[in-house]
Amino acid sequence: MRRKTKQIFVGNVGIGGDSSISIQTMANSSTEDIGKTINQIREAEEAGCDLIRVSCPTRESTVALREIVKNVRMPIIADIHFNYKRAIEAIDAGACCIRINPGNVDMFAINEIVKAAKYNNVAIRIGVNSGSIEKDILDKYGEPTVEAIVESAVLNCKKLEDLDFVNFKISVKSSDVKTTISAYRQLSSKVNYPLHLGVTEAGTFFPGAIKSAIGIGSLLADGIGDTIRVSLSSNIVDEIKVGKQILKSLSLLKNSVDIISCPTCSRTLIDVIGIAKELEAFCESIKKSLKISVLGCVVNGIGEAMNSDIGIFGFKKGIAKIYVNGAEYCTVREYEVLNTVKELIQNQ
């Protein structure tokens, strides 16, 4: 069961409480390049992203942010390190949330950011990262252990609470999957603020997707987590696709099509791999909650078809049976499967 946290809002996107688990990514264009950043944000939205973060390292970037905000619908989170003035400028430019890294800002800066956030009803993310923990905490533990990460997070929650500010979420990311899982588990037993999940610097597409699925997926399966970001050295659309698949795998993504398909073997009677891949591409933009099964033969085919909204399985060589809502619908030749099923999806 999902652990219920305090609900906050980043723009119109609820995080925590009863809100569905949102997907975030981060633009990797230069924020000063307004056109490119707007295109990236629109592309992310098209792919199913709910929130996007942009870096604001310079005065020019926060000036550009004002134009970017005017031209996109998705709420923007400004990523701030070192100079608190960028946070104040970003809030003024229309950012809906400010990500601060406690290791990179002092108390004076936090105070100034909180004042501006309160005045403008803007949320904050306390983004603790194993690579940039405060020096005194790191000195105490010697290395970025789970305890060090969690201590930093709890300490920074307290700093914001002392400023009478609770409109925030927290992340405790590590590039090590086991450390990430343990840190979030410990933190979730100590605080009730919404948690932003992610395995930081997870790597390139294939290893990064697997590390993220294990890290984020284990926590979500425990009921921990309110918003997720998959961090890949890859295209940002890949991050969103992986994030969506993680949520889908745990039945946490509404209005999405889940396709199950068998690994194929010598009994396979139809082109399972080709059919499954084509349906996957076709269903990318379908906003319906559907389960579709594609199996090579009757061994598991009938059972899975009966438990799917649309079930396809090899019946004879080159011939498939299609089930709809658990009942036999038709028998078709292999080459007719895709058109028949696409029509069924559209009519469901």
Residue with Cβ nearer ligand SF4 (48 or 296): 296
Residues 247, 189: Cα–Cα separation, whole Å: 22
Residue with Cβ nearer ligand SF4 (299 or 324): 299
Residue with Cβ nearer ligand SF4 (79 or 334): 334
- 39 part of the interface to ligand SF4, by CB under 6 A: no
Task: Figure out which of the listed residues 13, 216, 230, 297 binds ligand SF4, where binding follows CB under 6 A.
Answer: 297
| Shortest distance in whole angstroms from residue 314 CB to ligand SF4 | 7
Residues 79, 87: Cα–Cα separation, whole Å: 8
# residues near ligand SF4 by CB under 6 A: 12
Residues 292, 312: Cα–Cα separation, whole Å: 8
Task: Figure out which of the listed residues 267, 287, 288, 333 binds ligand SF4, where binding follows CB under 6 A.
Answer: 267
| Shortest distance in whole angstroms from residue 269 CB to ligand SF4 | 7
Helix (H, G, I), strand (E, B) or coil at 313: strand
Residue with Cβ nearer ligand SF4 (154 or 297): 297
| Shortest distance in whole angstroms from residue 320 CB to ligand SF4 | 12
- 265 part of the interface to ligand SF4, by CB under 6 A: yes
| Shortest distance in whole angstroms from residue 307 CB to ligand SF4 | 14
Q: How many residues does the chain have?
A: 348
Task: Figure out which of the listed residues 19, 20, 132, 264 binds ligand SF4, where binding follows CB under 6 A.
Answer: 264
- 249 part of the interface to ligand SF4, by CB under 6 A: no
Task: Figure out which of the listed residues 198, 208, 296, 311 binds ligand SF4, where binding follows CB under 6 A.
Answer: 296
Helix (H, G, I), strand (E, B) or coil at 238: helix
Residues 46, 155: Cα–Cα separation, whole Å: 38
Q: At what angle do helices 236-249 and 34-46 cross, to 10 degrees?
A: 20
Segment lying near ligand SF4 (by CB under 6 A), choices 82-90, 215-223, 281-289, 290-298: 290-298
Residues 295, 162: Cα–Cα separation, whole Å: 58
Segment lying near ligand SF4 (by CB under 6 A), choices 88-96, 189-197, 263-271, 318-326: 263-271
Rg (CA), the chain: 23
Encoded one letter per residue, x for contact with ligand SF4 by CB under 6 A and - for no contact, window 207-246 reads ----------------------------------------
Segment lying near ligand SF4 (by CB under 6 A), choices 64-72, 111-119, 144-152, 262-270: 262-270
Smallest CA-to-CA distance from 127 within 184, 172, 73, 192 is with 172
Q: How far is CA 80 from CA 5, 32, 72, 96, 121, in A?
A: 25, 15, 20, 13, 18
Residue with Cβ nearer ligand SF4 (30 or 300): 300
Residue with Cβ nearer ligand SF4 (242 or 262): 262
Task: Figure out which of the listed residues 14, 198, 217, 301 binds ligand SF4, where binding follows CB under 6 A.
Answer: 301
Residue with Cβ nearer ligand SF4 (116 or 302): 302
Q: Which runs of consecutive H residues, i.e. helices, occur in 26-176?
A: 34-46, 59-70, 84-93, 107-120, 135-141, 146-162
The number of beta carbons lying within 10 Å of the beta carbon of residue 136 is 9
- 138 part of the interface to ligand SF4, by CB under 6 A: no
Residues 6+ apart with CB under 8 A from 265: 296
Residue with Cβ nearer ligand SF4 (133 or 294): 294
Residues 146, 127: Cα–Cα separation, whole Å: 15
Q: What residues numbered 268-287 form the site for ligand SF4, per CB under 6 A? A: 268
Cβ–Cβ < 8 Å for 337, 275: yes
Smallest CA-to-CA distance from 18 within 29, 9, 30, 27 is with 9
Question: Residues interacting with ligand SF4, by CB under 6 A?
Answer: 262-265, 267-268, 295-297, 299-301
